[in-house]
Amino acid sequence: MTLPIEKLKTLYLQTTKHSHYQRMPRFLEGSIDPAELGKQWDRYDEQRLDYFTSKVDFRNKKVVDIGANTGYFTFESIERGARQVISYEGSRNHAEFLRIASDALDKNIDVREEMLDFSTVLPDAPFDIVLLLNVLHHVGDDFGEAIPNVSVAKTKIIDNLNWFAPQTEHMIFQIGFSWMTDYSKPLFPNGTKGEMIAMITEGIKGYWDVVEIGIAQVKDGITRYEAVNERNILRDDSLGEFRNRPVFILKSLRRTS
């Protein structure tokens, strides 16, 4: 395998709104020093991956990664046994990064440089697993749709989530606490995990079963995700914004064959 390392570094370092969002795909770690990439934040990609792949078997599965960014979850899905990954990414630079890396690896990864409109059924449906991680709180922002207020945004989030139900067996879902990541526009008045869980579980009734909701916990300095309970559902500001976001593992009630 020959990787165009300098080209990949250049694409990774291109500045966009969501630059440096994900951990560098692990297959590159032997070729690129992560320190060269200037990544400033840890969003606990590996810990989230370990959690949801312990609940949903990726072996021989058809996966779609929505908002794939620079492909950490795309490439790791392949490493965890997925037979195919279809990656949707609206950033030209990130999509090109994905294409070059996947071509060099010769893996069954199909990169789609586009944003979803959440109206037309995806051409490759049905899927086994949809990854929809920290995308839907950007409704009316990244998706080019005029949304007047937080109340309408919350309705669109649920509508868009339920739109996937006929198209997949499982959904791995995560969302932020603020609309468009603007802290002056909270989606939940008190910014609590309980409020988020209540909105999602009520909104998906008839579309999805909840397999499990994962909550980040820190023990001895190590972050792990565990099933929600009466203790960890409480917001812990020492964890920061990102680790307070629950991970929802959902099973469709409406998947069509």
Q: What is the pLDDT of residues 105-150, one digit of tens each?
A: 888 999 999 988 898 899 999 999 999 999 999 998 666 678 999 9
Bridge partners of residue 193, in order along the sequence: none
> C-alpha 170: how far from its chain's center?
13
Per-chain mean pLDDT for the chain: 89
Q: Is the pLDDT of residue 18 over 50?
A: no
Tally the residues of the chain.
Answer: 257
pLDDT at 17: 47
Token pair, residue 146, equals 């005029």
Rg of the chain, C-alpha, whole Å: 18
Tell me how far apart the 2 most distant CA atoms of the chain are, in Å.
50
Neighbours of 85 (CB within 10 A): 29
Read off the pTM.
0.90
Residue 73: which pLDDT band, with cuts at 50, 70 and 90?
very high
5-252 topology per CATH: Rossmann fold (3.40.50)
Q: What is the pLDDT of residues 85-99, one digit of tens each?
A: 999 998 898 899 899
106 exposed, middle or buried (CB, 10 Å; 0-12, 13-18, 19+)? exposed
Any idea where the domains of the chain sit in the sequence?
5-252
Q: For residue range 162-212, what is the model confidence (pLDDT) as tens digits? A: 999 999 999 999 999 999 989 999 999 999 999 999 999 999 999 999 999
Q: Once rounded to an integer, what is the mean pLDDT over residues 38-66?
A: 89
pLDDT of 39 > 60? The answer is no
The better pLDDT of the pair 37, 141 is held by 141
Q: CA–CA separation, 125 vs 42, rounded Å? A: 32
